[in-house]
Structure 1
Amino acid sequence: MSVHRSGTARVRRLTVVGALLAAFSFALAAPSSAATTPARGSATMGMGVLAHDGSSGTPPTSDATQTEGVDVAGYQGNVAWSTLWNSGVKWAYTKATEGTYYTNPYFAQQYNGSYNVGMIRGAYHFATPDTTSGATQANYFVDHGGGWSRDGKTLPGVLDIEWNPYGAACYGKTASTMVSWITDFLNTYKARTGRDAVIYTATSWWTQCTGNYGGFASKNPLWIARYASDPGTLPAGWSYYTMWQYTSSGPTVGDHDKFNGALDRVQALANG
């Protein structure tokens, strides 16, 4: 009997030790897992492209019929706009807002700084369709830098709609409810500014999360994201892109873009 009790006690001790080791291992792993989710407000245009679509590593060749641009966000701080201008960059977009909880603390330096060196510039909004309605976010965007004026140097606002960096890729929405959210945003932006917003997205995300909906192409210019030597297949409805984000590792600031036309076409978009 004593031997039986000793064996039972030993099994119990091993069970307890095993449970403690498992709990300890989980505790060590938990911070690492949590660290993979970025802080709210830190999302930037194209941050999911490398993770989901990758990069071919072959940037496009120079083309005189296209105009170089950049897009920037708060994490880049004060941008060297004169350096970019002298390198041939002629237009820029600055992150203004995200959801209804974030405004870019460097927005003034970036938005006005690009304008002051001669660039045609605009603002973009990083959409979070799981937090508030499209109309609410459009109003927040317009109220915090996303407006438009007919001064010849201000581009229409951009709806940056892409992978959710904080959770499920499609923000927990079905294709139809995502299309409804986007429609709500675009209609409100148009009512507030008189302009049709540009849609920034990647074909793979658009296909997955909107069902490759083609109904916005007749009014809303397309800004496509693809880090390769060509923009690839476009989302349904669009037969051409207006802008193309082709790299996240360009000179001076990482995100570089091509406008599908010469500088006078950039000015035409600014003028409406």
Structure 2
Amino acid sequence: MVTAAATVVLAVPGGSAAHAGPPPEVPGDGGYAGAGGYRAPASSLVPPAATPPAGYPVTGIDVSSHDHPQGRMLDWRSLGRSNAFAYVKATEGAGYTNRYYRSDVSAAKSAGMYAGAYAFGRPDLGNATGQADHFVDTMEDVRDGRTLPPFLDMEWPYRRLRLPACYRLSAGTMTAWIRTFLERVESRLGVVPMIYTNVNWWNRCTNRSAAFGHYPLDISSCAASPPSVPGWGRNWTFWQYDIPDCTPGLAHDADVFRGSRTDLATLARQPRR
């Protein structure tokens, strides 16, 4: 995800006048959880670990191809000793696939973790149904009791896109795009997907829409506690409480689950419709 976790609205470069229409998809993994363009240096030998907020013992991380500098693999065995779950970026747009997605999910589960997939939303490219289909086709419908509901990552465009905060979409067009994507994923999987966002982006780009409160929320905020979000209030399911933008050099985006490990297992075993 991008600068989503910060509770202060960060400056986002404006769109280039050279673009007569939607920009092409950027090859590679441009957007990733909580990153905002930050890439941890490959030379970091002992990156700092995030300190979980009190009262939330079920911790996890989210990762993308940016967590594989120079192709380096993650130490999932070590990560599994201190985390209960992981979310892995699967897709962006209708064409990009994270080449580490399947290996990371498999390794996380082998390390005893629950795992889920996320799609970085590109509403500027339109085709919400096609992006949702690409996501579902990539993540695969695994019913092993260890797969968490997928989520749609809606936040600031990462810097290389050179787009304004709301991807040049009106609030009405944005909410329609989000709804189409989520409904397509749900219709194909039979599982209610989640939304990941930051309240500053959400309020600005959806005009404080309260229409999505029936979807579980993964809220990104580096504040001492998550803010109230229209439609959800403070009823979040996951909280991304720290990212490299807030703690430079942080090893991974850090998350907690609102519930016990038994509750997490129940979430992973929810029946298909």
* TM-score normalised over the length of structure 2: 0.76
Counterpart residue number, 1:237: 232
Query: Which of 233, 250, 261 is 1:263 aligned to?
Result: 261
Counterpart residue number, 2:61: 70
Aligned partner letter, 1:217: G
Q: CA deviation at 1:232?
A: 2.2
What is the root-mean-square deviation of aligned Cα atoms in Å? 2.2
* Count of paired positions: 224
More contact order relative to length (CA 8 Å, sep ≥ 6) = 2
Take 2:103 and 2:54, find their aligned partners in 1: how far apart are those partners? 29
Counterpart residue number, 2:124: 130
* Residues 242-253 of structure 1 aligned to structure 2 (within 5 Å): 242-249=237-244, 253=251
Aligned partner letter, 2:127: S
Corresponding position: 1:45 with 2:33: yes
Counterpart residue number, 1:103: 97
Q: Check the 8 A contact 2:121/2:153 in 1, yes or no.
A: yes
Q: Check the 8 A contact 2:90/2:117 in 1, yes or no.
A: yes
Structure 1 stretches of 4+ with a deviation exceeding 2 A read 38-41, 47-50, 58-63, 147-150, 232-239, 249-253
Q: Check the 8 A contact 1:158/1:197 in 2, yes or no.
A: yes
Take 2:233 and 2:148, find their aligned partners in 1: how far apart are those partners? 20
Counterpart residue number, 1:150: 143
Secondary structure, aligned partner of 2:219: strand
Q: Check the 8 A contact 1:81/1:114 in 2, yes or no.
A: yes
Q: Check the 8 A contact 2:52/2:256 in 1, yes or no.
A: no
Take 1:207 and 1:156, find their aligned partners in 2: how far apart are those partners? 24
Q: Check the 8 A contact 1:246/1:257 in 2, yes or no.
A: yes
Please give the per-residue CA displacement for 1:213-263, whole angstroms capped at 9, x wherever unaligned.
Answer: 111112x10000011321122333344110000111489832010001111
Take 1:66 and 1:44, find their aligned partners in 2: how far apart are those partners? 25
Aligned partner letter, 1:202: N
* Residues 137-176 of structure 1 aligned to structure 2 (within 5 Å): 137-145=131-139, 147-165=140-158, 166=161, 167-176=163-172
Q: Check the 8 A contact 2:119/2:135 in 1, yes or no.
A: yes
Aligned partner letter, 1:42: G
Q: CA deviation at 1:69?
A: 0.5
Take 2:145 and 2:233, find their aligned partners in 1: how far apart are those partners? 26
Give structure 2 stretches of 5+ with no counterpart.
1-24, 39-49
Q: Check the 8 A contact 1:222/1:238 in 2, yes or no.
A: no
Aligned partner letter, 2:176: S
Counterpart residue number, 1:228: 223
Take 2:167 and 2:206, find their aligned partners in 1: how far apart are those partners? 11
The structure richer in helix per residue is: 1
Secondary structure, aligned partner of 1:246: strand
Secondary structure, aligned partner of 2:210: coil
Give structure 1 stretches of 5+ with no counterpart.
1-37, 51-57
Take 1:76 and 1:48, find their aligned partners in 2: how far apart are those partners? 14
Q: CA deviation at 1:108?
A: 2.2
Please give the per-residue CA displacement for 1:67-100, whole angstroms capped at 9, x wherever unaligned.
Answer: 10100001112211111112x2010000000011
Take 2:212 and 2:53, find their aligned partners in 1: how far apart are those partners? 30
Q: Larger Cα Rg: Structure 1 or Structure 2? A: 1
Secondary structure, aligned partner of 2:118: strand
Q: Check the 8 A contact 1:71/1:257 in 2, yes or no.
A: yes
Counterpart residue number, 1:211: 207
Please give the per-residue CA displacement for 1:161-202, whole angstroms capped at 9, x wherever unaligned.
Answer: 101121111111111110100010011001110011110000
| Residues 49, 74 of structure 1: alpha-carbon distance in 2 compared, 3 angstrom cutoff | closer
Please give the per-residue CA displacement for 1:12-70, whole angstroms capped at 9, x wherever unaligned.
Answer: xxxxxxxxxxxxxxxxxxxxxxxxxx9553210123499xxxxxxx955332x541010
Take 1:45 and 1:252, find their aligned partners in 2: how far apart are those partners? 13
Counterpart residue number, 1:61: 53
